[in-house]
Amino acid sequence: NAGVTQTPKFQVLKTGQSMTLQCAQDMNHEYMSWYRQDPGMGLRLIHYSVGAGITDQGEVPNGYNVSRSTTEDFPLRLLSAAPSQTSVYFCASSYGWGRDYEQYFGPGTRLTVT
Amino acid sequence: GENVEQHPSTLSVQEGDSAVIKCTYSDSASNYFPWYKQELGKRPQLIIDIRSNVGEKKDQRIAVTLNKTAKHFSLHITETQPEDSAVYFCAAREPGTASKLTFGTGTRLQVTL
């Protein structure tokens, strides 16, 4: 198993540009989530999904969109990048209800917005 | 929603000493509390977790204790080693959700020789 994969590993955007961060898992996990990590602020939840076709907002959803058309994939879209979105982004997945709650993280994407 | 506070933000100990990191949570119905370790430039990885029906759990040199009445839980690392140097995050699962976690802000542990 590859586990949770993310692409790209690094990205530089100009203010106003849009892009999609890719996330995929091959563990048949129901639950997937996106976090951003900023110094001194821990991991903050952006959006999450409890299954294909079901998504919901987390703590810091503004400026980001998600969709979940398959169990495996959970892309994160930045609509119009802003310098405040400079961060490290982690995707995570877990089994969800009634099973192991452990979240498995991807390797992260380091995004810089200039 | 759930709120998790974590202290201290930095911790320096000498090799062989013990380290303790503390977290408090706000929702008394929360029932799952994991601890993640993140080495520099790496992804967070689960090191130990505890559920609300247990007061303590150990795994070799690490242990977690839970006090449901006070709504706090702690990570204990004994006989610290240089490879324990990392950032540690506590988290709490929001009640009624599949796996939605709220994380603390992290503790940077430095183990010195």
Nearest chain A residue to B92 by CA distance is A101
Task: Return the DSSP state at A73.
Answer: B
Nearest-angstrom CA–CA distance, A103 and A32: 9
Letter for the amino acid at B44? Answer: P
**Residue A86 to chain B, least CA–CA distance (Å):** 16
Mean pLDDT, rounded, of chain A? 94
Residue A83's φ and ψ, nearest 5 degrees, are -55, -30
Q: Name the one residue in this structure whose structure tokens are 């810091």.
A: A60
If one compares A99 and B92, the residue with the highest pLDDT of the two is B92
Say what percent of chain B tops pLDDT 90.
88
- Output the pLDDT for position A98: 65
Q: Name the one residue in this structure whose structure tokens are 């690392």.
A: B77
Of B99, B102, B104, the CB nearest to A101: B99
Of A43, A50, A96, the CB nearest to B103: A43
**Do the beta carbons of residue B75 and residue B88 sit within 8 Å?**
yes
